[in-house]
Amino acid sequence: MKQAIQDQLNTFTNDFLSVVIATQTNEDKPYNSYAPFVNYDNHYYFIISKIAKHYDNLVNHKQASIMFIEDESKTPNIFFRKRLSYAVSVELDINDDLLKKAFVDRFGDMANMLFKMDFLIVKCNIENGRFVIGPGQAYDIDSNMKVIEQVKSLKGHSRK
C-alpha cells in the first residue's frame, strides 16, 4: 500500500508546468502566486523576476510553501482535489547552465528571454510535506520526498 502511494507521489507533478508559491511579506502577511518550475536533480526550482513580490519576500524570509493541486476540471469531487504541499527553505539566484537548459528544454525560448532579463532561479529545499489523494487519505512526506505515514486523527472525517 505504501509503495502504491509513493508511486502516485513520484508521478503527481509530472503534468504540471507551474507551482503555487506562498511566502511571507515584511508585514507578516501571507502572499501567494505561482511560477513555472522544473524538477531537476530531485529538487524543485522555479523562476521569478526581481520585481515580483515573491522576490522581496524570499530575500527577507527564506521559508515558503509550494503546492501542486489537481485541476478543477479533472477532479471527480471538488471537495477532495488531489494536492501536494511542501514546506521549503529557498536558495535564491541559482546559476547553473544545466539547470537553465532544463528550463529552456521545458519552456522554450521564453525561458531564454527571461534569463536575459531580471529573472532568476530559486531552489526549493524540502523540509516536509503532505500529499492528499482523497477523503481520509492524507500522507506525511519527508525531506527526501518519501511517504512517511498516513495522517491519522482521533476525530477523523465525521458528521456533526
pLDDT digits (tens, 9 = 90+) for 7-57: 999 999 999 999 999 999 999 999 999 999 999 999 999 999 999 999 999
The CATH topology of domain 2-150 is Pnp Oxidase; Chain A (2.30.110)
In angstroms, how far is the first alpha carbon of the chain from the final one?
Answer: 30
Please report which confidence band the pLDDT of residue 154 belongs to, taking 50, 70 and 90 as the band edges. Answer: low
The percent of residues in the chain predicted with pLDDT above 90, rounded, is 92
Q: Cell numbers for 21, please give them.
A: 508559491
- Residue range 91-103: average pLDDT? 95
Nearest 5°: the CA angle 55, 58, 61 is 150
Whether pLDDT at 137 is above 50? yes
The whole-number pLDDT of residue 159 equals 46
Q: Cell numbers for 93, please give them.
A: 539566484
pTM for this prediction: 0.91
